[in-house]
Amino acid sequence: MSDAPEVRPVVTPVRVVIAICLLAPFVAMLWVGSYAKTDPTFIGIPFFYWYQMLWVLISTALTLTAYQLWQRDQRARRGGTK
Where in the chain are the domains? Answer: 13-70
Closest among 26, 22, 19 to 63, alpha carbons compared: 22
pLDDT of residue 47: 92
Helix-helix angle 13-30:47-78, to 10 degrees: 160
Does 24 or 10 have the greater pLDDT score? 24
Phi/psi at 16 (5° precision) = -65, -40
- Biggest alpha carbon–alpha carbon distance for the chain: 68
pTM score:
0.79
| Cis-peptide into 40, omega within 30 deg | yes
pLDDT of residue 80: 59
Q: How confident is the model at residue 12 (pLDDT cuts 50, 70, 90)?
A: confident
